[in-house]
Structure 1
Amino acid sequence: MQSRGSIAAASTKAPADRVSSIGYQNRRHGWRCVVPLLTMTISLLSPIAPAHAEATCEPDVQNAVEEPGRIETNSNRDEGRRPCEVLSFFGVEPGAVHLELLAAQGYYTEILSVLVGREGRVYHHNNALVLQLTPPDQLVPIRNRIESGELSNAEWIEGELEALPFANGSVDSISAILSLHDYYWMSRRPESSGFAELFRILRPGGRLLVVDHSAQPETTVSAAVDQNGIHRIDQRYLTERLLDVGFVFEAESDILRNPADDRSKPFFDRSMWRDRTDRFVMIFGKPGEQTSDED
């Protein structure tokens, strides 16, 4: 089920100059939600008029998922990752300039390339640590698809988390899939520099998709700071840190929730193989003008 305009147990103090509400419209699929934000005098972000709907899989996204050229080791993970439902929830726009953050083997890069179309652009990003730690044979297939021109609208880029190679406001959308928890062991300043850098490069009205392994409540970053730890992040804490750098919360979904996961084990534990972790899915926005088809 999906919830638009609510977030479980998130708490923050909003700056006085933050807009009082934000309207978000998915231009392809037509739905719209308005999420009231908090004033400076309110410290608790509680559920706001939640509207629930079953997870959906839009036909154009399904076509992208079923694209015959996808790397087999990527498509074999579709059952556990549910890319059609996740990207239908996010709503990638044709013609968008999209950054796939810490993309590694390019699971989402291939699908996003189809969705943004010929007029769009997908940047497949990795930093030095991902390139160093990922077995080279796992990177070759996606790099070959990009550099051969098979994914003609995709580009392989490298850059550190605190200095992404993009101009201010030059990206329409960003996906951070199972990656923001890694900031806490990869970066010396994960929030003030790393998250702020995502905000800097995103255009006003642009959106950030966050999917990550859920840690137990009130654990803040303790499950994320150790490279050899369990690689999870406290959803409430992460939400607060993204709000701190200027993002606004727009929506969340329980598409990838798994109540059977007690959130004590890393994703690479045998019991968690094949994408069995409990994962949260959220959309954040950058305040500013966002044009619609009606404009």
Structure 2
Amino acid sequence: MIRTITLATALAVAAISAPAIAAPFDAAIAGPWRSAENKARDTYRHPAQTLAFFGVKPGQTVVEVSPGGGWYTEILAPGLKGNGLYVAGLANPLASVNAAKGVEAFKAKFADKAIHGDIAIGTFGKGVADIVAPGSADVVLTFRNVHNWHMGGWDQEAFNAFFKALKKGGTLGVVEHRLPEARNDADMKKSGYMKVSYVTMLAEKAGFKLAGSSEINANPKDSKDYPDGVWTLPPTFQKGDVDRAKYAAIGESDRMTLKFVKP
């Protein structure tokens, strides 16, 4: 059963303790419930190293905003099962028919408590101030989403919501397609790539402090100059079979990996 998150529930579930293990997400990363296709992307998304860099660990309340098809949900929810709380920040189901369908599809996909535990649902989107109860999250994570909010014109609003959701000392982890600093700012509105300086500005304006950056998800083969933007590369392959082998050889996008802390 997937339920709507409340502050009392979040704190009660996250407080459940169990013996910590050295690599808490290794078992989930190797889990048989993950498809071969998803596991094949580990070479580009580096889940174990990325989560370790962000300091994600059992016992925490971890909010993933806009989890999409749940690539990281398949790792985070089982890894926190019984010792922490995974919260999926999904679109407001009252916003549109498609949003409602998306929420229901997510719930159905991750309904098996034996695998994923008791997932909680928070609401995230334009005009939504509270993803979860203010100050209740230990970690907020976002993977390859900032460009969508930027193109929609509400990226600062999103970062403000992250700040509000986190406890003092809490962590915001951001992975995003990386645009060279020398490129025109206008490219961020159409390419799917974002500048590190711009993302850092959004976070700092919301109140965060940059705690570190990592090259875990870097890809020097990515030239970032494709007619169809980042979606030219895998896994999207926007151009279909046109030059597919060429883009497959490049691999997934070059990405920034930034860790921010709420003072």
Displacement of 1:61 in angstroms is 2.7
Whether 1:190 and 2:155 are equivalent positions in the alignment is yes
SS of 1:214's equivalent in the other structure is strand
Gaps of 5+ in 2: 1-19, 238-245
Q: Distance in 1 between matches of 2:41 and 2:88?
A: 19
Q: From 128, 136, 147, give the equivalent of 1:170.
A: 136
Q: From 243, 249, 252, give the equivalent of 1:276.
A: 252
CA spacing shift, 1:144–1:189, aligned 2, 3 Å: closer
Residue 103 (structure 1) aligns with? 67
Q: Distance in 1 between matches of 2:97 and 2:83?
A: 29
Residue 252 (structure 1) aligns with? 213
Query: Percent identity between the aligned chains?
Result: 23
Residue 80 (structure 2) aligns with? 116
SS of 1:60's equivalent in the other structure is coil
Q: Distance in 2 between matches of 1:272 and 1:178?
A: 19
Does the CA contact (< 8 Å) of 1:182 and 1:224 recur in 2? no
CA spacing shift, 1:216–1:202, aligned 2, 3 Å: same
- 1:181 maps to amino acid: H
Does the CA contact (< 8 Å) of 1:161 and 1:194 recur in 2? yes
Displacement of 1:130 in angstroms is 11
Displacement of 1:171 in angstroms is 1.0
Residue 175 (structure 2) aligns with? 211
Residue 195 (structure 2) aligns with? 234
- 1:101 maps to amino acid: V
CA spacing shift, 1:84–1:200, aligned 2, 3 Å: same
Displacement of 1:272 in angstroms is 4.8
Residue 153 (structure 1) aligns with? 118
Does the CA contact (< 8 Å) of 1:102 and 1:130 recur in 2? no
> After alignment, is 235-244 or 145-154 more displaced?
145-154
Gaps of 5+ in 1: 1-27, 30-57, 288-295
Does the CA contact (< 8 Å) of 1:220 and 1:234 recur in 2? no
Deviations 1:52-110 (A, max 9, x none): xxxxxx63332221122224443232222111121122221211111111101111112
SS of 1:181's equivalent in the other structure is helix
CA spacing shift, 1:275–1:170, aligned 2, 3 Å: farther
Give the number of aligned pairs.
Answer: 225
- 1:159 maps to amino acid: F
Displacement of 1:131 in angstroms is 8.7
Does the CA contact (< 8 Å) of 1:95 and 1:119 recur in 2? yes
- 2:59 maps to amino acid: G
Displacement of 1:280 in angstroms is 0.8
Q: Which has the higher helix share?
A: 2
Please tell me the root mean square deviation across aligned C-alpha atoms, in Å.
Answer: 3.0
Residue 3 (structure 1) aligns with? none
> After alignment, is 66-75 or 98-107 more displaced?
66-75
- 1:230 maps to amino acid: S
SS of 1:209's equivalent in the other structure is strand
- 2:205 maps to amino acid: D
